[in-house]
Amino acid sequence: MLVSFNAALAAVALIAALGGADARELDASMKQYVIVSCSDDAYRLCPTSLGSTSDAVACMKAKRAQLNQTCRVAYDKVVNTLRQ
């Protein structure tokens, strides 16, 4: 279960890291949206990094161009939310 938790946390942290803001600024529904939208990418793109949240975030950030469309839409929504 730690790997699942790290994948979910990485999905949220990825958005915060790329958006330059703190994920704590996001409401629970937005965090859940990102987790649902981006956890598959965490598993697909960074399976060997999921033991560490910081490694998973770094991996996903490095592979941003490979994020699926659903995750990219979530990313854009979060970035727009954090910029308001």
* Whole-number pLDDT of residue 70: 92
Confidence band, pLDDT 50/70/90 cuts, at residue 9: low
Confidence band, pLDDT 50/70/90 cuts, at residue 81: confident
70 with 41: CB under 8 angstroms? no
pTM over 0.75: no
- Alpha-carbon distances of 72 from 4, 9, 32, 52, 60, rounded to whole Å: 20, 17, 15, 22, 12
Domain residue spans of the chain = 2-83
Report which DSSP code applies to 50.
Answer: T
3-class secondary-structure state, position 51: coil
Output the average pLDDT for the chain: 74
Does residue 69 register a pLDDT over 90? yes
